[in-house]
Chains A and B, each alone.
Chain A
Amino acid sequence: MSQRGITLYLHVHQPFRVRDYTVFDTALDHNYFFDPDPISNRNNEKIFHKVADKSYRPMNALLQKLLDTHPDFKVSLSITGTFIEQAELWAPDVIESFQNLVRTGRVEIVAETYYHSLAFFYSKSEFEAQVEAHKNKVRELFGVETSVFRNTELAYNDELAQWADSYGFKGILAEGWDPILQWRSPNFVYRPEGTENISLLLKNYRLSDDLAFRFSNRDWSEWPLTADKYTEWTNASYDQPLINLFMDYETFGEHQWADTGIFDFFEDFVGRWLSNDNHTFYTVSEAIDANEPNGNLSMPSTVTWADSERDLTAWLGNSMQHEAMQYLYALEADILRTNDMELISDWRKLQTSDHAYYMCTKWFTDGDVHAYFSPYSSPYDAFLYYMNAIRDLRWRLHAHHKTGGLSG
């Protein structure tokens, strides 16, 4: 057996939040994403600066240090187009630090939709256009080709795997969710149902979420989590080849603040893991290359990495969310026909899944998580501002391109 490896995969993303865009802005002011109020929670620049200081800068510094210190340390990153655009605008040094990481040759970039969208579920052509746009942006910025795909929110089903297979990807990522896996372990590579060549990597959600969600939770019986304890847990599956730790990049510094000790913990843990000669880190491609699929796995229904349901209900669970997405995607043909790059880009920025997420009303057990991630005072406010932006898109189509017809 080859070395046991941790596949660390971090997802880097910022949406273009819609400002308080009212009825009175609609059809007059086409700026949806740049909030003039410097202290608003919808001010994307303000938020970007904050997260850059808390997370992107210190974590990239730590990743660089780990790469410099440990020849076996590897990491995979997916970086959305909307993140890159914001970093280019407001923090070019953050882009440079990512480029430096990639230059080590031990950091792999993972493919996804440029706009972090749910387009796969609404329009295959739009979806492919965004995957291509992302590939191009990654090539331009980092000079590398992507070969492993992850869909927004890890939303995955057999159909997506079949698409990725025929599109030429060699790997795809998904949640390792017990009700699907049953007796099987997420710590092996699988072959998606109905595919020829592609391999499936599954998130070990227990060990991933120990860091992403529970690390700083003082009500958690395992708090405080030490590198010793965590190493012990990783050793429990000593006879299995992989541990896939998939999480939001912003876990480090933003979701778990520096004062929780997350950075020190992580540095400590990496050193401890690699102190065993039989241990290594893999990029997602290497994990696939090193392991033959351990059988077929089928997920006919969509599985995501969110909430206790692991489904799409956080994004498409209520009537407001469904309606908003239907209105948006109904504009596709008219918008694309205009060749108006600004209009197309605004329309695509509104596809970012976060917008629908902010309209989520299932507060119950997942409530705290959603409250934390929403910049709006309620999902209803999020919905109203978003609807006004959609109306304004219609108005622009109508006024400037004599197409699409207004509706109300």
Chain B
Amino acid sequence: MLGWELPPHNSGGLGVACYHLAKALALKGTTIDFVVPYSAPHENIDFMTIHNATRLSPLERYGMGAYDSNFLMDKYDAEELGDLKDIRSVQRHYSRYIERHIEKNRPQYDAIHAHDWLTMEAGIRAKQLTDAPLVVHVHSTEYDRSGGGYGNPIAREIEYQGLIMADRIIAVSEVTKGIIISQYGIPADKIEVVYNAIDPNSLNDGYEYDRRTYTYLESLKSEGYTIISAVTRFTIQKGLTNLIEAVAKASEKYDRLALLLAGDGEQRNELIRLASEHGISDKIFFTGFVRGKQWRDAYRVSDIFVLSSVSEPFGLTALEAAHHDTALILTRSSGVAEVLHSIFTYDFWDVDRLADQIVGIATSNALQSSLKTNVLREYARISWHDVAEQLVTMYQRQRVEQIA
């Protein structure tokens, strides 16, 4: 399995997804060689063999300082990693490591499983050298990362090559499958949708909600306020300007609303300015980066969680929010919206609809509590074991097809 990161050395959701996915596969008896592009101990991983492709530390692999956002559970963003040239050189080292490893050990793999454009070249190389089928797992595309644009042509070309050379493609949602078809011209029957899941056990670690973390919001709640939140990076892809517009509109109809924006990013100042232009600065709470207790309490203090992304291959934050007892409003372009039913959805640009949904949930206790309760039931059914089962079946089918 070719990955770019694993917790705790992850900068985003890619590492989290890879970790859970590999763990569930191992529990089903799969033996995994997992390659990461850096050297660091992974003390809590004993279910697979981790290979360090370079001597770089987890931070150095980017050729820049820390982009530390462990609290972020959505997809990986190559643009955040700085100069592409540096990534390119790490990618070359990574491929060379794979070549040497295969030549030296002559391993017999049933499948090569590569995650995102970062490892696709290495995946192609491994396929050539071992003759094992190549599975390319798409957690996000350059199209998503550029907020629905063309993006970086080099990344785009690598993605295209990887998708062409793959024997099988996994998309994390129908949304992503649609992008692979329309943006990269790949035939639909080559792509299988395998949704991400959530491991509730990883969230049951003795955490208890602390009312004092967001004392002011708690006192607003006791005054009858409804707390809306987004836990995300502040980038164009996340569609937060629309969320602020919607909160401004909703406030005209129903005043007792507050918006908690947990996270940080290049768009922060624009969001602050936009809020004050609408005269709702005192309704919006900026926390900056949050992690640990502050991160979980951010979900827990919220009544409504909004995933406002313009383009979101999956959106694990929505499942985390569901775990913490919130009502969900998701854009239709978020993959996670495909696996949940007790939610509201809207088109990312449809500010009026979002405002209407916010007011609706805020003004009806019955609606709010049934959304919370029902989504809590739904999210728990989405399990990594099902994901592993799907993958094992896929590996076996590929192997059979290849022999036949």
Contact = CB atoms under 8 A, between A and B. Distances in A.
A26 B215 contact: yes
A391 B288 contact: no
A28 B282 contact: no
Interface residues of B, number: 26
B286 A384 contact: yes
A318 B213 CA distance: 31
B287 A24 contact: yes
Given A22-B287, A23-B285, A28 B272 contact: no
A24 B272 CA distance: 18
15 contacts: A22-B288, A23-B214, A23-B286, A27-B215, A318-B276, A319-B279, A320-B272, A320-B273, A320-B276, A378-B269, A380-B269, A395-B216, A395-B219, A405-B223, A406-B223
Contacts of B212: 28
Interface in B117-152: none
A387 interface: yes
Interface size range on A against B: 20 to 34
B93 interface: no
Contacts of A392: 216
Contacts of A322: 276
A398 B219 contact: yes
Contacts of A398: 219
Given A24-B287, A380-B268, A383-B272, A320 B281 contact: yes
Q: Majority SS of interface residues in chain B?
A: helix
Interface of A is mostly: helix
Contacts of A327: 281-282
A391 B214 contact: no
Contacts of A161: none
A267 interface: no
B215 A380 contact: no
Given A319-B277, A392-B216, 17 more contacts: A23-B214, A23-B216, A24-B287, A26-B215, A319-B276, A320-B272, A323-B276, A378-B269, A380-B272, A380-B273, A384-B272, A390-B282, A395-B219, A399-B219, A406-B219, A406-B225, A408-B258
Given A26-B216, A398-B219, A408 B282 contact: yes
A327 B279 CA distance: 10
Contacts of B220: 406, 408
Contacts of A387: 281-282
A408 B217 contact: yes
A363 to B, nearest CB: 12
Interface string A294-338: 000000000000000000000000111011100100000000000
A68 to B, nearest CB: 52
A28 B217 contact: no
A276 interface: no
Interface string B238-275: 00000000000000000000100000000011001100
Nearest to B259: A408
B283 interface: yes
A407 to B, nearest CB: 6
A384 to B, nearest CB: 5
Contacts of B215: 26-28, 395
B382 to A, nearest CB: 31
Nearest to B285: A23
Contact of B294 (A24, A319, A391): A24
